Amino acid sequence: MKFAWALAGLLAVGGAQAAERTPFQIRCEDTIAKSISVLSAKQDGYTINNQLPYRALTARTGSLDRNMETLGLTVTQGMHKARVDSGPVLQDAASGYECIAPKVEIQLYYSPVRVYVGNEFAPSTCAYKEILAHEMRHLKAHMDNLERVQKVVREALNKRFGGQPLYAPSGTALSALQHEVNSTWFNFIRAEFDKGKVEQEKIDSPEEYARLGKACNGEIAAILARRRR
């Protein structure tokens, strides 16, 4: 991930650390409050729904196109929201630039998690418990992915903003920060959430479907066979 930011006429990209600091840089870097990057993640549990038939779940996932049947389904989506702010703004009349200490708070979470099990499978049965256990693996993969995304985004935030002021033409620093978060950072977060799809696909392996077909002494397969008639 690459972020473009510059202090025109004041910072030489790639050589800022080695170059002698200007008086404006000294004021900004030595007197302005340090940047703060805050990341939080939350999750509000899940609900279980046993009202829809497996055919409705299959239609919802498009599994019919792959000649597969969906017996259970875990539905959620990675979400994010952000708040940006700054402390005092320092101005430099000579260059027409200003600097702020960017304060970025990003919250990561999943939309309400809904776990479905086909209504052909009564909650007290072995078949239901096997299908629900499979969906719990999907749920755990989502939660593991949330933890991973949180770590990746926190590290990237600290690398981008940690301890450094943000420079922009006078009157634009806070809006520039907001634009960066809304565009670059939100795209980055969505891409990281999407990486979790790989683990989800591993759970729905052909071997797992074959195992479920034989589980509970063939109870699942027998129920499906009766419903296909």
Residue 49 tokens read as: 């729904």
Q: Beta 97-100 vs 113-117: how paired, if at all?
A: unpaired
Per-residue pLDDT, 65: 54
| Within a domain: 12 | no
pTM here?
0.83
In a domain, 194, yes or no: yes
Q: What pLDDT, in 10s, does the model give residues 121-178?
A: 999 999 999 999 999 999 999 999 999 999 999 999 999 988 889 999 999 999 999 9
Per-residue CA distances from 225 to 104, 116, 120, 187, 188 (Å): 55, 20, 11, 45, 45
Question: Cβ contacts of residue 207 below 8 Å, gap of 6+?
Answer: none
Q: Using alpha carbons only, give the angle 185, 188, 189 rounded to the nearest 5 degrees.
A: 90
Compute the chain's Rg from CA coordinates: 26
**Is the pLDDT confidence value at 12 over 50?**
no
Residue 10 covered by a domain:
no
Q: Does 75 score more than 80 pLDDT?
A: yes
Does any domain span residue 2?
A: no
Q: How many CA atoms lie within 13 A of 172 on its CB side?
A: 11
Domain that holds residue 189: 23-228
Type of residue at 20: E
pLDDT tens, residue by residue, 45-71: 899 999 999 999 998 886 545 567 899
The verdict on residue 35 lying in a domain is yes
Count of structural domains, the chain: 1
Domain assignment present for residue 9? The answer is: no
pLDDT confidence of residue 6: 35
What are the tens digits of pLDDT across the range 197-226?
999 999 999 899 889 889 999 998 888 888
Q: Which is more confident, 10 or 189?
A: 189
Q: Is the pLDDT of residue 7 over 50?
A: no
11 found inside a domain: no
Whether 16 is in a domain gets the answer no
Q: Specify the pLDDT at position 88.
A: 87
Q: pLDDT confidence of 193, banded at 50, 70, 90?
A: very high
Query: Could you tell me the CA-to-CA distances from 54 to 41, 50, 124 in Å, in that order?
Result: 33, 10, 17
Q: Is there a contact between 139 and 72 (Cβ–Cβ < 8 Å)?
A: no
Q: Is the pLDDT of residue 188 over 80?
A: yes
